[in-house]
Amino acid sequence: MELINNLRYKYSNLDVLGQIIVWMVICFVLPFLFNTIIFLFNINSFSLISFFEVSPSFYELIYKPWSLITYGFFHADLWHLVGNMLILYYSGRVVLDLFGQDKLFKIFFIGLLCGSSTYLISYNLFPVFEGLKPPMIGASAGAMAVFIFLASYSPRFTFRIIFFDVKIIYIAVAFILMDLIQIPSGNAGGHLAHLGGAAWGYFYNSQLSIGKDVGNWVIDLLNYFKTIFKKNKNIRKVYKAKSYKKSSKESIDQQKIDVILDKISKSGYDSLTKQEKDVLFKAGQN
């Protein structure tokens, strides 16, 4: 329990970039654990990822519309994950410092949506893909959206690559050219998704430069779901309050909580005693 509380506290103190990366790692490991469980219990093999990967089939999209976003949280192999996370981290850290969490959230998640939409439209539009329905996973479109957004906003920004400083605009052009050139060579869906994400990153920056934030709908949608969740939570609290009355012993001493929070701000969460951590955890459940 103490380990879980420590991890929960550390996660809650991460910014949106750190939380995204944590979920990427979790979603990468989870299918392997799932496969181990079904193997041990001799259950007929099926893929957990199949519920979250996106397919160019409109029929599949009808019964799993979430796949337009969730495909981005799963990766084919470790290098696929590491490559995307490196691009996302180094460009996302700068975007986060310059524009804040909301805009990074909009760039990344709409980038994923633009990537899957480009992939979906392309496989149903171009004759060369007729009869082909390969599924797609990976956060490349979201990572590319963040990277191209930064490149279009600050083309002179430089990254240190081994012993050389390279302007981000040159790296961005190289990424786009590589995706265009490699479409006929294999993984066409992935390369098309990269270009869709890149297009969103460029477009979003161009709109911000004239004072238009065309990504606000994502935050509005998120707040809508948060409101629904809070309403359900409040309903449960009202029902709970009617069911029994708390005794004075069960109430948390606010002054004690304030002392614990001060201790965290000065010495960190690990400096708390087990009793203090339990008090803080109980307070969070109320």
The tens digit of pLDDT for each residue in 232-263 reads: 666 555 544 444 344 444 445 666 766 766 66
The pLDDT-based confidence of 34 (bands split at 50, 70, 90) is: very high
Q: Which two tokens stand for residue 228?
A: 């629904």
- β-bridge partners, 54: 136
Question: What's the length of the chain?
Answer: 286
Whether 197 shows a pLDDT value over 80: the answer reads yes
d(CA 229, CA 252): 24
What is the pLDDT at residue 46?
A: 79
Q: Dump pLDDT digits (tens) for 149-193.
A: 999 999 999 988 878 899 999 999 999 999 999 999 989 999 999
CA distances from 130 to 57, 105, 125, 134 (A): 11, 34, 8, 11
CA 199 to chain centre: 19
The pLDDT-based confidence of 265 (bands split at 50, 70, 90) is: low
Least confident of 54-58, 139-143, 282-286: 282-286
Residues with Cβ within 8 Å of residue 55, at least 6 apart in sequence: 61, 67, 133, 134, 135, 136
Residues with Cβ within 8 Å of residue 145, at least 6 apart in sequence: 107, 108, 110, 111, 112, 114, 115, 197, 198, 200, 201, 204
Q: Dump pLDDT digits (tens) for 228-240.
A: 877 666 655 554 4
Q: Mean pLDDT score of the chain, rounded to an integer?
A: 86
What is the pLDDT at residue 285?
A: 46
Q: What does the pLDDT average to over 42-66?
A: 91
- Among 125, 142, 145, smallest CA distance to 188 is for 125
> What secondary structure, in 3-state letters, does the chain show?
CHHHHHHHHHHHCCCHHHHHHHHHHHHHHHHHHHHHHHHHCCCCCCCCHHHCCECCCHHHHHHCCCHHHHHHHCCCCHHHHHHHHHHHHHHHHHHHHHHCHHHHHHHHHHHHHHHHHHHHHHHHHCHHHCCCCCCECCCHHHHHHHHHHHHHHCCCCEEEECCEEEEHHHHHHHHHHHHHHHHHHCCHHHHHHHHHHHHHHHHHHHHHCCCCCCCHHHHHHHHHHHHHHHHHHHHHHHHHHHHCCCCHHHCCCHHHHHHHHHHHHHHCHHHCCHHHHHHHHHHHHC
What is the pLDDT at residue 146?
A: 98
d(CA 39, CA 88): 34
What is the model's pTM?
Answer: 0.80
